[in-house]
Structure 1
Amino acid sequence: MRKLLGIFIIFIFAAVIILPAVIIEGLSLFRPPVQVQEGRQLVRVYFHQTGTVQILPLEQYIAGVVAGEMPAEFAVEALKAQAVAARTYTLKKIEEARVKPDELHPHADICTDPAHCQAYADDDVLRRRWGLFNYWRYKNKIQEAVRATQGMVLTYQGKLIDPVYHANGGGRTERAADVWGRDLPYLQSVPSPWDKDAPRYQSTVAMTLEDLDRRLGVSLTAVPAASLSPGGGAIKVLERTATGRVKTIKIGGKTFAATELRRLLGLPSTDFTWQVQGDNLIFTVTGYGHGVGMSQYGANGMAREGKNFAEILAYYYRGTRIENR
């Protein structure tokens, strides 16, 4: 009887004391992330997927951009650098929209299409991407990075810069002048050896000659295979940038800027070589993105070596300053 009474008392104790504590501790895993301090600045965001415009607090929007643009597994200092770059880009777009609205989103300051502005990931997307448990951990991590840099932007001679960025520069970033024809003192080429750790540091793209003809409006299928190989004449690099990337190229009698060719063929970057395999052209590509400004994998590599976000930004955007706006 005493034994049963002892078991009963233990059961009651567990039910009244221990079980609620376990439940409360478990629920802490599902607490909302630490909220970013909101300022008064608002941003009009065009969601290209739905064709709608939403007005969001700036810092909330920046957290969504960081989540959409950079892997949450990256070091915190890299996430901070991304937050400052994204905030600078956004405020610059707001300034530009006041003077001349963008033709693609005239009623918004910025859009969620990464090919035109910046990527943005909302909570529904992040839950699917990260899973329920990682969602809270990564969301908190990103919001902490945004909060730690709140209001910080990059300037050059007192003006907001154009803080472009890309996934990885293939070992060295590119000058803005060689990509867009506009020289900016803070967007110069710098070594980025950390890019070699990126999963898409080097990739291949295979394309049939028929598909190439269709995309480019040429007739390579009628050209002898030997002429398609490097040095064969049917495909010839006319000009390279200082970093060795293709700048202009002649294909089947037509001349293309490498940036346009990259868009038409869906190549990861303009740093490529090619070879012929039967009826296919195989492109070997180094790097991912336009190559100008901050390399995101480079930023992560620097952070893992102990550099802070300010040092990362100063390295990729030469001569700039961090200011509070």
Structure 2
Amino acid sequence: MSQSHALPGVLQFGVRLALAFAAIVLLPVGIARALQRSPMPDVSAWIAQRDARIQVRVFDGETGDVRPMPLNTYVLDVLLANCDPNAPTASLEAASIAVRTYAVRSMLHPSVQARREHADLTDNPSLDLAMETEHELELSIGSQSALAFIARAQAAIEATDGKILTYGGQPILAFLCQISTGRTRSAEIALGSPVPYLRSTPCPDDATSPARVSTITYTLGALNQALSAHLSGFSGLRAIRSSDGFVQAVKAGGAVWSGPAFAADLGLASDDFTWVARGDRLTFSCYGRGSDLGMSLHEADVLAERGMSFAAILAHFYPGTRLEDMQSFVQSLGISGN
């Protein structure tokens, strides 16, 4: 074979060799560098947390199973479900401490519903704090946005590892909501008993936010299906309200629902709602998102943007509480957080 005929074969071999080198060496290096530029969390730091060594038992209402999970994973799932993906660091840190406190208190004093299921908590947002997995978050806001939010939320959890709020030497009922109606509720009205650190707190930034109000519409058939009811029309519906406007109960003929149960069955954003009937449709207007107790995450975001620290935000919404380490409380459960 002549040299002129051999040259193209050599060139082809060289091209194939270059492509193989790119696939085996350059491509993985490029991917690794891209991942280094992305906000990937430090896995070793995440699993080394004291939070990671505490197991919390969560009752899954959909499957009927009790799922043990690390405390930091529980806190993360609650942050993903309730916090704004662009929330400032200080408000994410405040929320991390509030959720950790809620979980530790629930481990010490589980609710009747959780105890019945041999769990510490439930994933039912009408009973406990709403939760969302990383996969569910990716489906709702996209992979890149989810990745960035998860990394920031994990950093906030790591920065506050082991910190909880106490009052009178005990972890508090650290309720929170996504956005209030314009002020948070007092425990005396919402729970029927005063709690010193759960006072009605003005939230002026919530009051002016369009996100404070949401609407949802039902046909009569869809309403009956959601409530497992047999209403013949909307005219018989009556709401009984507390002094702060929240619905305590809804009556229709002989049927009665508590305000929270009615809102949960219909997927309403809060227990503060009104309705208007137009023909065969009933439109609900809901004010705030969540229980309206404790910390408003939306108001906390604004306070953080103005320079308030996580400690100051927590003191604002839970007056009279103290920041403490959870160690002595988890040890009383026979758990070592070290």
C-alpha distance in structure 1 between counterparts of 2:217 and 2:170, whole Å: 43
The answer as to 2:253 corresponding to 1:240 is no
Pick one of 78, 81, 97 that aligns with 1:65.
Answer: 78
Q: Is the 8 A contact 2:126 2:264 kept in 1?
A: no
Map residues 86-105 of structure 1 onto 2, 5 A cutoff. 86-97=99-110, 102-105=114-117
Distance 2:309 2:285 in 1: 34
Query: Following TM superposition, by how much is the alpha carbon of 1:28 offset from its aligned partner in structure 2, in angstroms?
Result: 1.4
Cα distance change on mapping 1:292 and 1:20 into 2, 3 Å: closer
Question: How far apart are residue 158 of structure 1 and its match?
Answer: 1.1
1:112 Cα deviation (Å)? 3.1
Scaled by the length of structure 1, the TM-score of the pair is 0.76
Aligned residue number for residue 15 of structure 2: none
1:172 corresponds, among 155, 158, 183, to 183
Counterpart mapping for 1:196-215 below 5 A:
196=207, 200-209=211-220, 212=223, 215=227
Residues 237 and 246, structure 1, Cα contact 8 Å, conserved in 2: yes
Alpha-carbon distance change, 173 to 220 in structure 1, aligned in 2, over 3 angstroms:
farther
> 2-side partners of 1:210 and 1:126: how far apart?
31
Structure 1 residue 168 displacement after superposition:
1.4
Deviation, structure 1 residue 111: 3.3
- CA distances 1:193-237 after superposition (whole Å, capped 9, x unpaired): 22246564112232344555673857563x8xxxx4xxxxx5555
CA distance in 2, matches of 1:51, 1:238: 33
Q: Does 1:143 align with 2:151?
A: no
TM-superposed CA distance for 1:91, in Å, is: 0.7
Change in CA separation of 1:257 and 1:21 when aligned onto 2, cut-off 3 Å: closer
In structure 2, the residue matched to 1:231 is none
- Once the two structures are superposed, residues 106-131 of structure 1 have per-residue CA deviations (whole angstroms, 9 ceiling, x without a partner) of 1x323333333334444444444454
Instruction: Quote the residue 1:161 is aligned against.
Output: 172
What is the distance in 2 between the residues matched to 1:102 and 1:95? 12
- Contact 2:239/2:250 (8 A) holds in 1: yes
Aligned to 2:273: 272
Aligned residue pair count: 300
Q: Specify the alignment match of 1:7 in structure 2.
A: none
Partners of 2:141 and 2:230 lie apart in 1 by 44
- What RMSD in Å do the two structures reach over aligned CA positions? 3.6
The runs of 5 or more residues in structure 2 that have no matched partner are 1-17, 327-338
Overall identity of the aligned pairs, in % = 31
Counterpart position of 1:118? 129
TM-score (norm 2): 0.74
Contact (CA 8 Å) 1:179, 1:259: kept in 2 or not?
Answer: no
Aligned-partner Cα distance in 2 for 1:19–1:263:
50
